[in-house]
Amino acid sequence: MNPPSHGVTLASIYEARARIQGQVARTPLVRSLTLSERFDAEVYLKLENQQPSGAFKLRGATNMIAALMDRDGLEALQRGVTTASTGNHGRAVAFAAARLGVPAVVCLSELVPANKAHAIEALGAEVRRVGRSQDEAFQEVARLVNEQGMTLVPPFDDPLIASGQGTIGVELLEDQPALDRVIVGLSGGGLLGGIGAAVKGIRRGVQVTGVSLSQGAAMWESLQAGQPVDVEEVASLGDSLGGGIGLDNVCTFALVREVMDDHVQVSEGAIARAMVDLLQHEKILVEGAAAVGLAAIDEHGLDIRGQKVALIVSGNGVDLATFDRARSLAGR
């Protein structure tokens, strides 16, 4: 049997798990009493907001940097690593690089909130603001790679990154083997693709639901078009789900098409209400992208009655000003 073109397999996910063990948190899967009663289901929250870097991105970044070190040695990374990010991946790369003593430059567009930029700088990485889209930020990344010999750690479109994120799926089924459905925020596709490859590789019948923003959702538009397309980015409470997927996408577009069963978009109002609900009832303060699973169930009336459902609470990169904006939009 030929390996898949995207390069992400259950074997590559288990290899990632071995590499990152002890470097990232094995986050809890918590049953929400409030949401379970509200939706007549067993609703679980996978708390990736408890990663030491604040988000799931630490898994993929750690896996890729560790794999490169195993292959090329630490000396090959001494010129540093670089990436473009909507915030969380940059923080993960900064965290992993600092632990290894490797320089890091993270390129951000002007749309990335200031609190996320400050969090990256606090870990010792250099932040460069470039343009108003992730694609424009990647132009500076390309220059750093080509002219200064830095090593690219892409935010999503690489089998090592997606396999690292896929370790979440392994943990989900270890903690809840009878899981029926997982609802995942979808942007570049590394998170959903990795989780989908893991859960379907272990238990084929698990339903994988993707959730995208209602505007500026590049993966949504690309799937409709049947090929990667450019989409103008817009400011959003779910800013971590912004950014393009790359017209030369080599991994995650095909991976998402293979593992995702259904796909919805959520409005700013639904994201705001979900953020407020998670703080009020679950006592967790999260960024908009981490709340889209709940937003999707609520806004679209997804029928999860009687199911065991996991929502991926992907990160905690939110400041109080942004949360106050969400609370105002939610009318709470």
Residues noted as catalytic: 57, 314
Evaluate whether 231 touches 214 at the Cβ level (below 8 Å).
no
Listed residue (231, 179, 219) closest to 202, CA to CA: 179
94, two tokens = 């900064």
Please tell me the number of Cα atoms within 13 Å of 152 on its side-chain side: 18
d(C-alpha 179, C-alpha 175), whole Å: 9
Evaluate whether 30 touches 44 at the Cβ level (below 8 Å).
yes
Evaluate whether 148 touches 107 at the Cβ level (below 8 Å).
no
What is the torsional sign of CA 208, 212, 214, 219? negative
d(C-alpha 105, C-alpha 213), whole Å: 28
DSSP 315: B
Listed residue (332, 330, 287, 276) closest to 312, CA to CA: 287
For 225-307, list the strands marked E by DSSP: 262-266
Place of tokens 């959903």: 192
Evaluate whether 182 touches 208 at the Cβ level (below 8 Å).
yes
Place of tokens 């705001």: 272
φ, ψ of residue 31 to 5 degrees: the values are -75, 125
Query: Which bin fits 189, alpha (ψ -120 to 50), beta or left (φ > 0)?
Result: left
d(C-alpha 72, C-alpha 105), whole Å: 20
